[in-house]
């Protein structure tokens, strides 16, 4: 424990996801001890991100414009939509360079324990996107855990009867984890080996 604001700073970093008490302390002391560290730059950046970054009106990805760079890219195929839970999953899949279609970010996964139902996710927006018949394949790339599976099952029951080709990433992804933790090669292979979901 430290006195006053040093401890406040450590506590604040410790509240961030994935940062334990030791890392929080390390970051705080890095800031204290590094002469070249510019707190103004960091605080301005944080304020700008909170002010300027929003969610793409089409796919829900993070963007500084109304539509994200992927939705605006004419080289991407509008016939395939990959459905993911979070914007960070878009980044993970983009790193594999396996996918040239568009995305749809749900904003989470179905989880009765956490009180998250289908209406809390961007499923209605997905159905709107599918209404004009441009899309012929939907790849469901939810996380390989209970909530991700529940969400995938819910979506397949909606989408398969619509006559769409519905696919799921191949197994081989670390079960119970997040998509973002899979390495690029594994995720790329899971993409390539995706299987068609029946009704």
CB of 16 to Zn ion, least distance (A): 26
Is 71 one of the binding residues for Zn ion (CB under 5 A)? yes
Is 58 one of the binding residues for Zn ion (CB under 5 A)? yes
Report which of 193, 122, 189 is spatially closest to residue 155, judged by C-alpha positions.
122
Q: How many CA atoms lie within 13 A of 187 on its CB side?
A: 23
Using CB under 5 A, count the residues that bind Zn ion. Answer: 6
Q: Out of 25, 61, 96, 145, which residue is the one contacting Zn ion (CB under 5 A)?
A: 61
Q: Kindly tell me which of 59 and 110 has the beta carbon lying closer to Zn ion.
A: 59
196 contacts 162 by C-beta, under 8 angstroms: no
Q: Kindly tell me which of 44 and 73 has the beta carbon lying closer to Zn ion.
A: 73
CB of 126 to Zn ion, least distance (A): 12
Question: What are the residues binding Zn ion (CB under 5 A)?
Answer: 56, 58-59, 61, 68, 71
């Amino acid at each position: 424990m430290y006195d006053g604001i040093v401890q406040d700073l450590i506590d604040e970093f410790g509240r961030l996801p994935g940062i334990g008490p030791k890392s929080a302390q390390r970051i705080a002391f890095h800031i204290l001890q590094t002469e070249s560290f510019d707190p103004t730059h960091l605080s301005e950046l944080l304020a700008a991100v909170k002010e300027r970054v929003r969610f793409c009106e089409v796919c829900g990805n993070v963007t500084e414009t109304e539509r994200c760079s992927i939705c605006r890219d004419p080289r991407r195929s509008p016939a395939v939509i990959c459905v993911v839970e979070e914007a960070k999953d878009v980044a993970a899949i983009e790193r594999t360079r396996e996918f040239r279609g568009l995305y749809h970010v749900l904003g989470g996964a179905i989880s009765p324990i956490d009180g998250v139902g289908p209406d809390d996710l961007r499923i209605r927006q997905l159905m709107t996107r599918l209404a004009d018949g441009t899309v012929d394949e939907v790849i469901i790339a939810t996380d390989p855990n209970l909530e991700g599976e529940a969400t995938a099952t819910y979506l397949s029951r909606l989408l398969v009867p619509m006559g769409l080709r519905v696919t799921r990433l191949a197994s081989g992804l670390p079960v119970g984890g997040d998509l973002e933790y899979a390495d690029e090669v594994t995720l790329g292979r899971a993409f390539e080996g995706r299987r068609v979901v029946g009704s």
